[in-house]
Amino acid sequence: MPKRKRKAEMEDATAIVMGFANLVDALFVRYTGKTMANLLKESAQRPRELPQGDQQEKASPAESDMPLEWAYSILGLKPGAPLEDVKKNYRNLSRAFHSDKGSVMNDEAMKLLNRAFERIAKGR
């Protein structure tokens, strides 16, 4: 008997979740005129391709021309923060996003952190 009760409870919970999902879908269509699936298909973008060979070397100097305000905001600081705070935030963020943590996104985050730190060091 307990197995039947658990199965019935699971079916009830599933029905509630599906009912909520249908309600959200209906409201989304009502307010946007599109289904969520169509909107996701429309907003899907192809990944940006990396430049090949010489183009990549040409692109890197332009990337280092990051505005100083952006560099501070990437490190979570206000513009003009002391160098000690810059170093402290850089170390904390680099520990959090180090590539040894295992994600591809961590590599991109580390590149961004390094560029921001270098920009602040050059800008002083």
Q: Is the pLDDT of residue 56 over 60?
A: no
CA distance 91 to 99: 14
| 75 vs 35, higher pLDDT | 75
- What is the model's pLDDT at position 36? 72
Per-residue pLDDT band at 104 (split at 50, 70, 90): low
- What is the model's pLDDT at position 124? 65
> How many other CB atoms sit within 10 Å of the CB of residue 101?
13
- What is the model's pLDDT at position 62? 46
Per-residue pLDDT band at 103 (split at 50, 70, 90): low
At 57-101, the pLDDT tens digits run: 444 444 457 888 889 988 888 988 999 999 999 998 888 887 776
pTM of the shown model: 0.47
- What is the model's pLDDT at position 48? 64
The DSSP line for 3-47 is: HHHHHHHHHHHHHHHHHHHHHHHHHHHHHHSS-HHHHHHHH--PP
- What is the model's pLDDT at position 15? 83
Average confidence score pLDDT of the chain: 77
**Coarse DSSP helix, strand, coil percentages of the chain, rounded to the nearest 5 percent:** 75, 0, 25
Angle of CA points 20, 22, 23, to nearest 5°: 65
